[in-house]
A and B are shown apart, each in its own frame.
Chain A
């Protein structure tokens, strides 16, 4: 079974750093992109960025470029999302999701499955 398991909920103070994780299993981790999606309380889904664990090629949404860092350690099939200095506005649920793509039509792609989510709370 293809599965993405995320690290547990975090409570942090403004200015602190944080790294959350997403561990893949049941498939070749290095062969598929992994994306990160933010969901602020009571709000919709926002794509943050995506990484190819095979070579760590990473793309960011312009809205999140410079605000977070996405990385991966293929030796342990784990992707990461990190902040160097958290803000209260970073309070949200964060999901990772495997990105699948049709080999013949690049734009024919989708996210499946999704991790269970990591709730990040930033409060003084």
Chain B
């Protein structure tokens, strides 16, 4: 299986901050990487697919980049509703795997 890691595991930030979360795959996955947001008690929500494509309806402050093994999710100006846990997921292999998550909370 392709293993996914994320860093940091958690971070504290203030409203308006620029936040960057990193995801790394154990082997090259080209650009087949998705990002999800999960708020407490809620189902995950797709933010970014294929590394950099913004899902319809997702605010443009979210962006994704990367290819190969290293990827980033950036929130350009953190808003109160963005405090959540973020997961990356590789779709290169049919044995889909998720990263362990990055929890973003209020500083």
Binding site for B on A (CB under 8 A): 35, 37, 44-47, 59, 61-62, 95, 97, 102, 107-117
**Interface residues as binary, B9-50 with A (CB distance below 8 Å gives 1, 0 otherwise):** 000000000000000000000111010101000011110011
CB atoms of B55 and A112 under 8 A apart: yes
- Bound Cα distance A118, B92 (Å): 28
Interface residues of B, CB < 8 Å — how many? Answer: 26
| Interface residue B1 (Cβ < 8 Å from any Cβ of A) | yes
Which residue from B32, B44, B101 sits with its C-beta under 8 Å from A108? B32
Q: How far is the CB of A46 from chain B (nearest CB, A)?
A: 7
Interchain CA distance A44-B4 in the complex, whole Å = 12
- Which positions in B face A, CB cutoff 8 Å? 1, 30-32, 34, 36, 38, 43-46, 49-50, 55, 87, 89, 91-92, 94-101
Given contacts A61-B95, A117-B43, 10 further A-B contacts (CB under 8 A): A44-B87, A45-B38, A47-B89, A108-B31, A108-B32, A108-B50, A110-B89, A110-B91, A111-B34, A114-B43
Q: Give B94 Cβ to nearest chain A Cβ, in Å.
A: 6
Q: Among the listed A46, A62, A114, A115, which residue makes an inter-chain contact with B98, where contact means beta carbons less than 8 Å apart?
A: A46
For the residues of A in contact with B, the DSSP-based class is strand
> With contacts A62-B1, A110-B49 known, is A47 near B43, CB below 8 A?
no
- Contact assessment for B34 and A44 in the assembled complex, using a CB-CB cutoff below 8 Å: no
Chain A to chain B contacts (Cβ below 8 Å), 25 pairs = A44-B98, A45-B36, A45-B38, A45-B44, A45-B98, A47-B89, A47-B96, A47-B98, A59-B94, A107-B91, A108-B31, A108-B32, A108-B49, A108-B50, A108-B91, A109-B32, A110-B34, A110-B50, A111-B36, A111-B44, A112-B46, A113-B45, A114-B44, A114-B45, A116-B43
